[in-house]
Amino acid sequence: MAQYRRIGVTNNNDVAIVSFNDKKILDEASIQELGAELFGLVEQHNMGDILLNFTNVEFLSSAALGKLITLDRKVKASKGRMKMCNIRPEIFEVFQITKLNKVFDIRKDEAEAMTAFS
């Protein structure tokens, strides 16, 4: 498995569980790097099912949301599924305002999300 700077990846029953190393995902350079690492999971490592765990994330910029939308498309194109969990209320509010809560499969916690994959 590759080494990552922006994310941590563990595997559980063929689901790649991704945690974020940065509390604030703001600046363009780190968002580009984050995007490349996330896309690599699908493109190079053929991870089908991906769970994004937002426990560490306190702030997410709109540019980061764009990367998540692109990641979702890539996962679906490779016949995989993507879910998200542990999103703070203030970040979830942004998902609601942008209607992305209708696009993404967002679960309360990791256990609920893992159950949803089976």
Q: Map out the domains of the chain as residue ranges.
A: 7-113
Per-residue model confidence as pLDDT tens for the chain (118 residues): 567 999 999 999 899 999 999 999 999 999 999 999 999 999 887 778 999 999 999 999 989 999 999 999 999 999 999 999 999 999 999 999 999 999 999 999 999 999 999 8
pLDDT tens-digit series, residues 19-42: 999 999 999 999 999 999 999 999
Rounded Cα–Cα distance for residues 33 and 86 (Å): 22
pTM of the model: 0.94
Instruction: Tell me how far the alpha carbon of residue 11 is from its chain's centroid.
Output: 14
Residue 67 CB neighbours (<10 A): 20
69: helix, strand or coil: helix
Report yes or no: 20 and 6 within 8 Å, Cβ to Cβ.
Answer: yes
Domain 7-113 homologous superfamily, CATH: STAS domain (3.30.750.24)
Give the number of residues written for the chain: 118
